[in-house]
Amino acid sequence: MIDRRRFLQGVGAVALTAAALTAVVSPQSFAPFGFIGEAEAQTVDALKLMAPGALPDMVLGQESAPVTIVEYASMTCGHCAHFHATTYPVLKEKYIDTGKVKLILREFPLDVVAKAAFMVARCAGPDKYYPMVDTLFDNQKDWAFGSNPAQALLAIAKQGGMTEKQFNDCLSDAKLAGEIDQVAKRGTELGVSATPTFFVNGKLISGAMSPEDLAKEVDPLLATK
C-alpha cells in the first residue's frame, strides 16, 4: 500500500491534506467551458511554439506531416478525457495514421494528481508514453477522483510494466516534477489558460474540439499543401 503522504511529497504538494486533495480532483471542480470548440483570434509564431522546452516533445505521427497540433491538457480534466474519447480516435485514424497530422501533447496539470499521472506517463518511457496517456484518459473516473489516487495510479502503472519501486522512484523525482511545472508555465506564456487548449499550425483553439471542429480547422490547411 502506498502512503498518501509520500505520494503527495513525491509530486511536491506536502501541504495538501486529504480533504484538500479530494476537493481539488472532485468532478465538480471542472465546470463546462462556454467556449468549447471556438477559435480565439490568436496565432503563435511557429518558432516560439516549437522551441525546445524543459522536456522533449512527445510526437505522435510523422515528423514530415504538414499539420502540427500541439495540445495542452490535464490528466484530470473531464473535457480532455471527452476529447480523447470522441475526437482523438478520428484524429488518429483520419489524420495521424495517414501522415497528414502530427500531435504533440504537452503537460498542463490542473492539480497534484494530474501532475503525478503525467510523471508516470513520462517515466513509462517514450515508446509507452502515449499508450499510458490513452489508458489514463480511458480510465480517468477510476483513478482521478477516488479516495486513494496513488494506489489507483500504481495499478495502472503496473499494467504498463512498471514495478512499485519504479513507480515510487518516479513520483519522488523532483527534477521531473519541476520540468513538468516548466512545461505548464511555458503554456501559460503562449496563452493557455484552460484545458484542453490546442495550437493547430500555431492557431490557438480553446476547448475540446468535436470531430467536426477538427475537420473545419485541419482540412483547409491540407487543401493548400
| Per-residue pLDDT tens over the stretch 180-216 | 999 999 999 999 999 999 999 999 999 999 999 999 9
178 pLDDT above the threshold of 60? yes
CATH architecture of 32-217: 3-Layer(aba) Sandwich (3.40)
Per-residue model confidence as pLDDT tens digits over 137-175: 999 999 998 888 999 999 999 999 999 999 999 999 999
Q: What is the mean pLDDT of residues 60-66?
A: 95
Give the residue extent of every domain in the chain.
32-217
* Cβ atoms 170, 121 nearer than 8 A: no
At residue 41, the pLDDT reads 53
At residue 43, the pLDDT reads 87
Per-residue model confidence as pLDDT tens digits over 97-145: 999 999 999 999 999 999 999 999 999 999 999 999 999 999 999 999 8
Lowest mean pLDDT among 3-12, 14-23, 92-101, 202-211: 14-23
Name the nearest CA neighbour of 13 among 188, 180, 183.
Answer: 180
CB-hemisphere CA count at 13 Å for 46?
6
Please, what sign has the CA dihedral across residues 194, 200, 203, 205?
negative
